[in-house]
Amino acid sequence: MKKTVIAVTAIMCIVFAAVGIWLGIMLSDKQPSNPDPLPPEQQENDGSIKDVSEYEYLKFSVTNEKNKFVDVCANKEAIKNAQGMIYLSIPEKVKYNGETYTVATIPDAKTNPETDNPEGAFGSCENLHHVFIPSSVSDIGSFAFFNCKNLSSVVMVSPTYIGAEAFAYCYSLVEVTIPKSVSIISYDAFSNDVRLVIIRNLSKEYVKKPSDDTVVISDIGQSALIYTRNYTFWEKDEQYYLVNYQDFEDPRKSITLPTNIDGHSYAIRSCAFRDNKTLQNVVISEGVTSIGIEAFKSCESLQSVHISSSVKKIGGGAFYLCKKLSDVTLDDGVQEIELGAFEDTALTTIFIPASVISIKTESTSGPFQWCKNLVIYCEVQSAPEGWDAYWSYYDVFVVVKDNEVKWGYSREEYLNEINLQK
């Protein structure tokens, strides 16, 4: 009996020891021994007041010694050299020379003596993705976040003043909430924010029209944003728009757009993909109704695009300056091609189906301007009435030159011919 008890006890000890070793291995894998701490401006505010020397991406300057006020601006060199996108939380208070100071302002821009251009406190910080501005900050100075192209989220608690062009050229901003405390918004504070569709405060919304840069006031509840992993959609009066695509956390070379949003078809709004640097191949799926003005402008890596039959309109400059774009497929169903849609791309051939009833030009500029070696294959026998003069021209400034046009080709004949050329 004693031998049995001893044997069972020994077995149990071995089992417990093995489990202990296994747990130790698992925990050591999941908990790095020396994780690199985030700088305080990237941590959640725990209420502690930290010394200014602890902040990696922020700089502080005393503005009022009597009242213990400082202003805050970016350490632009540190942000420029940072790996990945920066999420900044500006503190309410900091320690400086052992004393506590309140962070009161983001200062107005200063003029660069070499360029004579204004330089905002956080201006042109391309790695800046999110910023939190606490209740202590009353003034957001002129040009404060000017040209922060990847800034997609701003939270401001209770400022009273937003300076001129403070958020101008923030291409990735889609929605901004302005607290009721704001009494002055200076000129062009949000100008050229091409994706911004909602500026929301506590009682009203200022909603940008999809077609231009004007702002109209509407009642809250008429529009909403829908966020997915890479896309932001805007719902306005039961119409849906894709307003932004971001891939810096999940860069992809090839994408197929969603076929619907919550069961609804949608339009690609102007500038939704503008300046993307990684996309090479895009399929615009069935369910997309139109492609907005400059939607894919300056997508420097884009090589091929397939546009499905549900797309009825390709907006002006939609693929302008996509200098590597050499392969475009237009499915039957596309009806309108606007001015400059494929201007200054690398297209050498394109097939235009008979469904296209309108090709727009302005003066003598058409959709294929500067496509110097392009051969255009048309399913129709001759230009329909809705195709403007100069629609096929590539150079009208130095010498008026027309791209080669081949009429009366079926899609199959077109594909056979270009395959033989390869």
DSSP string covering 247-301:
-TTS--SEEE--S-BTTB-EEEPTTTTTT-SS--EEEE-TTEEEE-TTTTTT-TT
Q: Would you call 317 exposed, middle or buried from its count of C-beta atoms within 10 A (0-12, 13-18, 19+)?
A: buried
pLDDT score at 211: 43
Domain check: are 129 and 186 in the same one?
yes
> What residue numbers bound the domain in which 252 lies?
223-421
Return the beta strands (E) in 58-152 as ranges.
58-64, 69-74, 86-89, 93-96, 99-106, 110-111, 118-119, 128-133, 139-140
The answer on 242 and 187 residing in a single domain is no
* 285 and 376 inside one domain: yes
Of the two residues 407 and 191, the one the predictor is more confident about is 407
Query: Which CATH number covers residue 392?
Result: 3.80.10.10
| Residues contacting 162, CB < 8 A, separation 6+ | 140, 178, 182, 184, 185, 186, 189
3-state SS, residue 109: coil
Checking if the pLDDT of 67 tops 60, the result is: yes
Residues 270 and 371 in one domain: yes
User: What is the distance of C-alpha 79 from the center of its chain?
Assistant: 19
Q: Is residue 291 part of a domain?
A: yes
* Residue 97, domain member (yes or no): yes
Mean pLDDT (whole number) for 153-177: 90
Instruction: Indicate if 146 and 243 belong to the same structural domain.
Output: no
- The answer on 234 and 137 residing in a single domain is no
399 domain residue, yes or no: yes
Total Cβ atoms within 10 A of residue 172: 23
257 and 395 together in one domain: yes
Is residue 374 a part of any domain in this protein?
A: yes
Closest by Cα among 173, 154, 71, 85 to 125:
85
Reference 364, options 399, 393, 405, 321; nearest CA is: 393
Least confident interval from 114-118, 278-282, 326-330: 114-118
Question: Are 360 and 237 in the same domain?
Answer: yes
* Residue 218: inside a domain: no
- The per-type count for the chain, helices as H runs and strands as E runs, is 3, 34
Token pair for 98: 């052992």
Q: Is residue 21 predicted with pLDDT exceeding 50?
A: no
Residues 319 and 416 in one domain: yes
Q: What is the pLDDT of residues 361-412, one digit of tens each?
A: 886 678 999 998 899 999 999 999 999 988 998 875 555 578 899 999 999 9
| Residue 7, C-beta contacts closer than 8 angstroms, at least 6 positions apart | none
- Which residues are within 8 A (CB) of 92 and not within 5 positions of it... i.e. 6 or more apart? 45, 102, 103, 134, 135, 136
Report the range of poorest mean pLDDT among 41-50, 75-84, 225-234, 403-412.
41-50
Cα separation, 197 vs 182, whole angstroms: 19
Q: Are residues 180 and 251 in the same domain?
A: no
Same domain flag for 234 and 319: yes
- Among candidates 314, 328, 150, which has minimal Cα distance to 244? 150
pLDDT at residue 356, as a whole number: 98
How many domains, the chain? 2
Q: What was the pLDDT predicted at 201?
A: 65
Residues 249 and 297 in one domain: yes
13: in domain: no
